[in-house]
């Protein structure tokens, strides 16, 4: 069967999703998990966009050795040079150059002629080729570009050294039959196309990113660009898990394979969701909470008799736990570590011990601990950042006839305990105001979301909070059986991310 190259852009286009924010260490954690997933290419970031991006991409290039590590660059000499500096230590580096090609972009955004764009594309690919033989070029907005002009650009950049030519449906405009026809037209009309791999990068503005990607592969493309959980700019990208599982489940139809270890899909999805701060919708294909749940009596009857009657994918194939072993306060460290291993977590002793202490604390509040509770607990350990302030204590008084009042005690940077209190419009507002009185920083709360991890009155509540300062968004998450405590944890998590970045900026300035 034909091999398909999986190009993951979670760390680049995925992080462009409004409200997403990752630090270098978090990007590395996701990159390591993508390596376990066995993606072929990791687009680690856009180095020219900021010093933070250079640091993150360089870290991934040094630490993640098996996949190709790709850096995005717009078509300028300085950006290409910066991209190379960021990935030069990678075992398998790639530079990905992009430049708009559609008349809409040329006329209204770039104010350039077709000839100028073609010449710049050729020159910048040639410049990238000086650094590495693995060069990818994307004519942005290709799906709205005059095909004959697109053919000319592709021929020119392949002659200049591009080994992969990517056809982006940048604004999610194409329909599947139309997009497939565009790929066939490229194969038929670009004389040197045999010297390059055709890639596609589809956005989901009309909900067609996965369909367009699959149709392009049928038409002859052999790389698709995607993101975990379909995250990305605006409505997102083609979902890695959906395209991969479509190819695997329907090998009889597509006749193509990937090297993806599908048993790592669920774990990767959960990690990206936690790190990025975007919950996965319950009805999301492959990784949603309802993807393998059956409520209809007819469906339940069929599944009990033969799973394939209503399940076309074995949940275990994508890493969804095959059982829901329930732990309790009587469970010991060995049973807890065994369950972590079954869920796909390999933790060092320090993190595992912290997680076990958290498990015991939770078990004192809940009668039974499910897999989902454990995943939420682990997410808290995995997303722990360096703490400028640590939440010691939070207490709230509220009710329909009381003014919501919160008392908070934090441990400060020098180890000192600081306490304060505040009134608010509600208990969460009061908690945030009390914390603000202590840290005294110019941040603004821009998003507050609560989700229940499991069913039941004693369910863990997960809180997502986004704060903003100087145009930069910081995401924090917290989990607890008490929503107010979870909110305080989430707010402190976001604040500590802010302090980490602020400290790094001071070091750069000095």
Q: Cβ–Cβ contacts within 10 Å for residue 423, how many? A: 12
SS3 at position 335 = helix
Strand pairing partners for 378?
Answer: none
Structural contact between residues 300 and 315, judged by C-beta atoms closer than 8 angstroms: no
Q: What share of the chain is helix, strand, coil (3-state, %, to 5)?
A: 45, 20, 30
Q: Which two tokens stand for residue 464?
A: 């997502």
Bridge-based pairing state of the strands 135-140 and 2-3: unpaired
Q: What string of pLDDT tens digits covers the 510 residues of the chain?
A: 699 999 999 999 999 998 887 889 889 999 999 999 999 999 999 999 999 899 999 999 999 999 999 999 999 999 999 999 999 999 999 999 999 999 999 999 999 999 999 999 999 999 999 999 999 999 999 999 999 999 999 999 999 999 999 999 999 999 999 999 999 999 999 999 999 999 999 999 999 999 999 999 999 999 999 999 999 999 999 999 999 999 999 999 999 999 999 999 999 998 999 888 888 888 999 998 788 876 677 766 776 787 788 888 988 899 886 555 567 777 788 778 877 776 767 777 777 787 888 888 877 777 777 777 777 777 666 655 678 899 999 999 998 888 999 999 999 888 899 999 999 999 999 999 999 999 999 899 999 988 877 667 777 888 989 999 888 888 888 888 899 999 999 999 899 988 888 887 777 666
Residue whose C-alpha is closest to residue 33's, from 257, 275, 247: 275
Q: Can you tell me the distance from the alpha carbon of 18 to that of 231, in angstroms, rounded to the nearest whole number?
A: 10
- Residue 450's SS3 state is strand
**Long-range residue pairs from 123-127, CB within 8 A, at least 24 positions apart, any chain:** 123/160, 124/73, 124/75, 124/76, 124/77, 124/80, 124/97, 124/99, 125/97, 125/157, 125/160, 125/161, 125/162, 126/160, 126/161, 127/77, 127/80
Contacts of 395 (CB under 8 A, 6+ apart): 406, 407, 408
User: Any idea of the CA torsion for 335, 336, 342, 347, to the nearest 10 degrees?
Assistant: -130
Contact 394, 411 (CB under 8 A): no
For helices 371-382 and 265-276, give the axis angle rounded to 10 degrees: 50
Within 141-175, residue ranges assigned H as helices are: 147-160
Give, as one character, the DSSP assignment of residue 325. P
């Amino acid at each position: 069967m034909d091999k398909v190259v999986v190009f993951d852009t979670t760390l680049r286009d995925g992080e462009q999703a409004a409200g997403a924010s990752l630090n270098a260490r978090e990007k590395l954690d996701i990159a390591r998990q993508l390596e376990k997933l066995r993606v072929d290419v990791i687009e680690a970031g856009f180095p020219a966009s900021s010093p933070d991006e250079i640091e993150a991409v360089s870290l991934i290039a040094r630490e993640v050795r098996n996949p190709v590590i790709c850096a995005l660059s717009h078509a300028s000499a300085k950006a290409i040079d910066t991209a190379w500096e960021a990935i030069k230590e990678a075992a398998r580096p790639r530079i990905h150059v992009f430049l708009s090609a559609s008349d809409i972009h040329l006329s209204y955004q770039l104010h350039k002629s077709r000839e100028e764009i073609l010449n710049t594309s050729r020159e910048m690919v040639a410049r990238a080729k000086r650094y590495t033989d693995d060069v990818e070029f994307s004519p942005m907005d290709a799906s709205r570009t005059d095909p004959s002009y697109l053919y000319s650009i592709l021929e020119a950049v392949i002659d200049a050294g591009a080994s992969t030519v990517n056809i982006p449906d940048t604004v999610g405009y194409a329909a599947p039959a139309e997009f497939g026809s565009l790929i066939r037209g490229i194969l038929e009309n670009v004389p040197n196309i045999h010297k390059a791999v055709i890639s596609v990068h589809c956005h989901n503005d009309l909900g067609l990113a996965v369909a367009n990607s699959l149709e392009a592969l049928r038409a002859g493309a052999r790389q698709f660009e995607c993101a975990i959980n379909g995250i990305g700019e605006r409505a997102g990208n083609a979902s890695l898990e959906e395209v991969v599982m479509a190819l695997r489940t329907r090998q009889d139809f597509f006749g193509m394979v990937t090297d993806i270890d599908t048993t790592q899909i669920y774990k990767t999805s959960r990690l990206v969701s936690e790190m990025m701060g975007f919950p996965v919708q319950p009805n999301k294909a492959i990784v949603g909470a309802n993807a393998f749940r059956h409520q209809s009596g007819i469906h339940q009857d069929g599944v009990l008799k033969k799973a394939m009657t209503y399940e076309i994918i074995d949940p275990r194939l994508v890493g969804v736990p095959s059982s829901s072993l329930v732990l309790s306060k009587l469970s010991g460290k060995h049973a807890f570590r065994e369950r972590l291993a079954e869920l796909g977590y390999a933790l060092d002793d320090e993190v595992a011990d912290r997680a076990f202490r958290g498990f015991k604390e939770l078990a004192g509040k809940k009668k039974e601990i499910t897999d989902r509770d454990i995943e939420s607990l682990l997410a808290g350990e995995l997303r722990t950042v360096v703490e400028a302030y640590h939440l010691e204590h939070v207490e709230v008084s509220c009710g329909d006839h009381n003014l919501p009042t919160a008392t908070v005690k934090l441990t400060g940077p020098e180890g000192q305990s600081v306490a304060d209190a505040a009134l608010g419009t509600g208990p969460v507002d009061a908690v945030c105001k009390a914390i603000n009185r202590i840290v005294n920083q110019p941040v603004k709360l821009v998003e507050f979301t609560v989700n229940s991890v499991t069913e039941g009155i004693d369910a863990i509540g997960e809180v997502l909070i986004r704060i903003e300062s100087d145009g930069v968004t910081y995401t924090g998450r917290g989990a607890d059986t008490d929503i107010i405590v979870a909110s305080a944890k989430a707010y402190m998590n976001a604040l500590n991310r802010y302090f980490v970045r602020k400290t790094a900026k001071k070091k750069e300035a000095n």
